[in-house]
């Protein structure tokens, strides 16, 4: 990576900010454009981006996403924005002679009832869970495009399938956040206000696998350096937790001691998620380093210092 010109789309965001730090520490010359400067849904803007920076490596981490509520409310926008960004950035990477393209995909691309643990070869064996299908399918088309470009043009593109991420710098929006930041915000506020109960979506039975964001960024950089095949690669921790257990853990870490109620009328999402992470270990030596409870402690601490205190002042 030393002295390489690396373009990180989404580099100012949650995952991207950790990627930028690791790459810079390795001596790379990193460019992380802002969406206000370059709209990745527009071909002329993406052309301008490549002309301006002339990258040797592209890590495409930019995406429009959110929790179940956001997915339900914005299926058209999720599909259009993501498929346009993915298609244009990958096409321009080819046209401008980029040495390597790293596509950041998602566990949401897997079929709803994939056998657990999810293996990469099962990716095409069914339709994704309905609430996140537009997002997952748009990401899956990036994999198809990458493989097609390797077959026809010999273009070096790889595709990584990431599980749900969490950690410091995440978005803790009341309506649009993913499950962990949403629960931290809810439990922290309830503890501060001394509420006697909170209500959570679903029935708590669904399971999820979570990966600490710094570990995810490390995995992406390792794959960028060491992996050059067309097959997708799962990136995760290899363990799952029921949402009910997750809520109780976050309640304990935030100091909430009240009752937890479940809104059974709201969707659970995909019933189970846990990846087979064998390929990542074998191909480029990645194994997650941060356990869930330790990662949650760090995330709660960051939230209390950077978000929770500002909310309390209002």
d(CA 90, CA 194): 50
pLDDT band at 309 (very low <50, low <70, confident <90, very high): low
d(CA 246, CA 261): 14
Q: Is the pLDDT score of 243 beyond 60? A: yes
pLDDT digits (tens, 9 = 90+) for 59-96: 999 999 988 889 999 999 999 999 999 999 999 999 99
Residue 233, CA distances (Å) to 71, 144, 192, 230 in order: 24, 14, 41, 9
Give the domain CATH number at 250.
3.90.25.10
- Domain range enclosing 198: 179-207+240-271+290-313
Among all residues, which ones are annotated catalytic? Answer: 135
pLDDT digits (tens, 9 = 90+) for 104-117: 999 999 999 999 99
pLDDT band at 308 (very low <50, low <70, confident <90, very high): low
Q: Is the pLDDT score of 312 beyond 50? A: no
User: Per-residue pLDDT averaged across 198-226, rounded?
Assistant: 96
pLDDT band at 313 (very low <50, low <70, confident <90, very high): very low
d(CA 86, CA 224): 18
- pLDDT score of 69: 84
Residue 304, CA distances (Å) to 105, 143, 170 in order: 30, 38, 13
User: Concatenated DSSP letters for 217-236?
Assistant: HHHHHHHHHH---SS-EEES
- pLDDT score of 87: 98
Q: Is the pLDDT score of 1 beyond 70? A: yes
Residue 64 lies in a domain: yes
Same domain assignment for residues 100 and 128: yes
Q: Report the chain's C-alpha Rg in angstroms.
A: 19
Same domain assignment for residues 37 and 147: yes
Residue 142 lies in a domain: yes
In sequence order, the 6+-apart residues with CB closer than 8 A to the CB of 175 are 69, 70
Residue 219, CA distances (Å) to 52, 118, 130, 233 in order: 28, 18, 28, 10
Residue 295 belongs to what H/E stretch?
A: helix 292-303
Give the domain CATH number at 120.
3.40.50.720
pLDDT digits (tens, 9 = 90+) for 149-184: 999 999 999 999 999 999 999 999 877 788 999 999
Q: Is the pLDDT score of 311 beyond 90? A: no
Residue 206 near residue 274, CB atoms below 8 Å: no
User: Per-residue pLDDT averaged across 33-50, rounded?
Assistant: 96
End-to-end alpha-carbon separation of the chain, Å? 44
Residue 278 lies in a domain: no
Total domains, the chain: 2
Same domain assignment for residues 253 and 222: no
Identify how many contiguous H helices and E strands the chain contains and give both numbers. Answer: 11, 12
Residue 283 lies in a domain: no
Same domain assignment for residues 202 and 152: no
3-state secondary structure of 203: coil
- pLDDT score of 115: 95
Same domain assignment for residues 25 and 108: yes
pTM, two decimal places: 0.94
d(CA 142, CA 282): 24
Q: Is the pLDDT score of 52 beyond 80? A: yes
Residue 118 lies in a domain: yes
Same domain assignment for residues 230 and 105: yes
Q: Is the pLDDT score of 303 beyond 50? A: yes
Q: Is the pLDDT score of 310 beyond 70? A: no
Helix, strand, coil shares of the chain as percentages rounded to 5?
50, 15, 35
Least Cα distance to 55 among 101, 2, 12 occurs for 101
Residue 84, Ramachandran bin (φ over 0: left; ψ between -120 and 50: alpha; else beta): alpha
Residue 40 lies in a domain: yes
d(CA 55, CA 61): 15
Residue 148 near residue 118, CB atoms below 8 Å: no
Q: Is the pLDDT score of 147 beyond 50? A: yes
d(CA 206, CA 241): 8
Mean pLDDT, all residues of the chain:
94
């Amino acid at each position: 990576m030393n002295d390489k010109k690396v373009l990180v789309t989404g580099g100012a965001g949650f995952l991207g900010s950790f990627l930028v730090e690791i790459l810079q520490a390795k001596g790379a010359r990193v460019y992380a454009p802002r969406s206000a400067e370059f709209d990745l849904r527009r071909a002329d803007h993406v052309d301008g981006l490549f002309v301006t920076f002339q990258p040797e490596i592209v890590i495409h981490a930019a995406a429009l996403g959110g929790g179940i509520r956001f997915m339900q409310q914005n299926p058209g926008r999720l599909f259009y924005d993501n498929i346009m960004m993915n298609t244009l950035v990958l096409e321009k990477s080819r046209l401008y002679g980029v040495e390597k393209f790293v596509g950041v995909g998602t566990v949401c691309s897997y079929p709803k009832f994939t056998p657990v643990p999810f293996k990469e070869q099962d990716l095409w064996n069914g339709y994704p869970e309905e609430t996140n299908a537009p997002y997952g399918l748009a990401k899956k088309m990036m994999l198809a495009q990458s493989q097609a470009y390797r077959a026809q043009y010999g273009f070096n593109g790889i595709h990584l399938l990431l599980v749900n991420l969490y950690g410091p710098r995440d978005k803790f929006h009341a309506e649009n956040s993913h499950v962990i930041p949403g629960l931290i915000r809810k439990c922290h506020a309830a503890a501060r206000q001394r509420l006697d109960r909170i209500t959570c979506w679903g029935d708590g039975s669904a399971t999820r696998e979570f990966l600490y964001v710094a570990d995810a960024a490390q995995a992406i950089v390792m794959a960028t350096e060491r992996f050059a095949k067309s097959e997708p690669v799962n990136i995760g921790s290899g363990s799952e937790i029921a949402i009910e257990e997750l809520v109780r853990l976050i309640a304990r870490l935030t100091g909430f001691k009240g009752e937890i109620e479940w809104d059974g009328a709201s969707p659970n999402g995909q019933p189970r998620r846990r990846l087979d992470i064998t390929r990542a270990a074998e191909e480029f030596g990645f194994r997650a380093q941060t356990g869930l409870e330790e990662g949650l402690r760090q995330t709660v601490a960051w939230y209390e210092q950077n978000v929770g205190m500002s909310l309390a002042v209002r």
